[in-house]
């Protein structure tokens, strides 16, 4: 099976002043196949967000190669890269970045209209479906101060999925949540993955990274 995303010899340093730079990613070689559920684990400051930004081209790499869907990313013009990120990649950011002057539904719709992949009517329909799936349909008209942290995280997940991306990158998607909401969000990501979307998570939490343990505990709960 071909890889959906692969990196070879990926390096990233940040320059801090004239003579000093910090090397964050060193020779990262990874492959993610379509439909996989992959977690990258590391402590705070180890470079998880940098990996996500560099793999998706949001942050330029220092050297190495990233291939996504058979396209070598650094050969693509920025306009094509932006379109790729809009339509084929979904992002659940560490800091959710919702717009406070839009209600929850409009925050979800936001990347849907400019993508122009489908009609506004079908983007609206998809937003409704996603809000049903994630259990926030009744909050559609609320603004972001009228929702809990877990509910806002689910808004972020819906927004990431609005254009039916091939891959969803989650950067500590449960970082700000209590254990019950964490479980709900992980359950949701598991279901999204079961529907065919590749999931690529960055986390410092072994419980979030350990998908097998998660599946085993759900199976126990369901008496399987």
Ligand X SMILES: Nc1ncnc2c1ncn2[C@@H]1O[C@H](COP(=O)(O)OP(=O)(O)OP(=O)(O)O)[C@@H](O)[C@H]1O
Q: Which does 14 bind (CB under 5 to 8 A by kind): Mg ion, ligand X, none?
A: ligand X
Cα-flanking dihedrals φ and ψ of residue 101, to 5°?
Answer: -90, 5
Q: Supply the minimum distance, in Å, between the C-beta of residue 94 and ligand X.
A: 6
Q: CA-to-CA distance for 220 and 189, rounded, in angstroms?
A: 19
Q: CA-to-CA distance for 174 and 202, rounded, in angstroms?
A: 10
Q: Is residue 50 part of the contact set for Mg ion (CB under 5 A)?
A: no
Q: Which one, of 193, 165, 164, 195, lies nearest residue 69 by Cα?
A: 165
Site for ligand X, residues 162 to 201, rule: CB under 6 A = none
Determine the longest span between alpha carbons in the chain, in angstroms: 61
Q: Supply the minimum distance, in Å, between the C-beta of residue 79 and ligand X.
A: 23
Q: CA-to-CA distance for 197 and 168, rounded, in angstroms?
A: 7
Q: Which residues pair with 15 in a beta bridge?
A: 21
Please say which residue, 95 or 191, places its beta carbon nearer to ligand X: 95
Exactly one of 49, 182, 198, 203 binds Mg ion (CB under 5 A); that residue is 49
Please say which residue, 49 or 214, places its beta carbon nearer to Mg ion: 49
Q: Is residue 14 part of the contact set for ligand X (CB under 6 A)?
A: yes
> What does 38-73 look like in DSSP terms, one character per residue?
EEEE--TTSSHHHHHHHHTTSS--SEEEEEETTEEG
Exactly one of 2, 8, 9, 22 binds ligand X (CB under 6 A); that residue is 22
Exactly one of 4, 5, 10, 24 binds ligand X (CB under 6 A); that residue is 24
Please give the size of the binding site for ligand X, defined by CB under 6 A: 14
Q: Which residues bind ligand X (CB under 6 A)?
A: 14, 16, 22, 24, 42, 44-50, 94, 204
Q: Which residues bind Mg ion (CB under 5 A)?
A: 48-49, 94
């Amino acid at each position: 099976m071909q890889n959906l995303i692969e990196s070879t010899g990926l390096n990233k340093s940040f320059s801090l002043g004239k003579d000093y730079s910090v090397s964050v990613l060193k020779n990262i070689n990874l492959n993610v196949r379509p439909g996989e559920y992959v977690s990258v684990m590391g402590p705070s400051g180890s470079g998880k967000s940098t990996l996500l930004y560099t793999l998706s081209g949001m942050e330029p790499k220092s050297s190495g190669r990233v291939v996504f869907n058979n396209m070598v990313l650094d050969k693509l013009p920025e306009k094509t890269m932006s379109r790729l990120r809009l339509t084929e990649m979904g992002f659940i950011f560490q800091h959710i970045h919702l717009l406070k002057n839009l209600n929850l539904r409009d925050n979800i719709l936001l990347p849907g209209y400019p993508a122009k992949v489908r009609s506004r009517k079908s983007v609206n329909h998809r937003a409704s479906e996603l809000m049903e799936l994630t259990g926030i349909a009744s909050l559609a008209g609320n603004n972001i101060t009228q929702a809990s942290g877990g509910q806002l995280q689910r808004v972020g997940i819906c927004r990431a999925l609005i254009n039916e991306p091939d891959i969803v990158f989650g950067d500590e998607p449960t970082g700000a949540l209590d254990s019950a909401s964490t479980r709900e969000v992980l359950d949701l990501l598991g279901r999204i993955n079961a529907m065919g979307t590749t999931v690529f998570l960055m986390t410092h939490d072994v419980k979030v990274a350990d998908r097998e343990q998660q599946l085993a505990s759900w199976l126990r709960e369901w008496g399987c």
